[in-house]
């Protein structure tokens, strides 16, 4: 739980259950957009001919990293006519 001085505007007046609910929604949206952006970046890199690999030190970053790697391999495969792997 964040300290009162570090809480976003309006969050200090919410109960702990409500704060957890909003934190869960924020985490889900972060993961969704991370997957979308990393997927596009990986695909574009793969279409440019690069095999891209990465690592995330945060648990919520792993879905994006897996998508990034998979999309880059897909992009390279598409660039080479399906025989890139």
Encode pLDDT of 35-58 as tens digits.
999 999 999 999 998 998 888 888
Q: What is the pLDDT, as a whole number, of residue 19?
A: 87
pLDDT(17) > 60: yes
Q: What is the pLDDT, as a whole number, of residue 7?
A: 56
Residue 57, SS3? coil
Q: What is the pLDDT, as a whole number, of residue 54?
A: 87
Read off the pTM: 0.73
* Per-chain mean pLDDT for the chain: 85
- CA angle (30 as vertex; 24, 32 as ends), nearest 5: 105
């Amino acid at each position: 739980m964040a300290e009162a001085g570090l809480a976003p505007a309006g969050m200090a007046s919410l109960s702990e259950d409500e704060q957890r609910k909003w934190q869960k929604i924020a985490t889900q949206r972060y993961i969704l957009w991370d997957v979308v952006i990393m997927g596009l970046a990986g695909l574009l890199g793969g279409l440019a001919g690069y095999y891209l690999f990465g690592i995330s030190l945060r648990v919520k970053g792993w879905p994006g990293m897996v998508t990034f790697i998979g999309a880059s391999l897909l992009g390279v495969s598409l660039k080479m006519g399906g025989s890139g792997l």
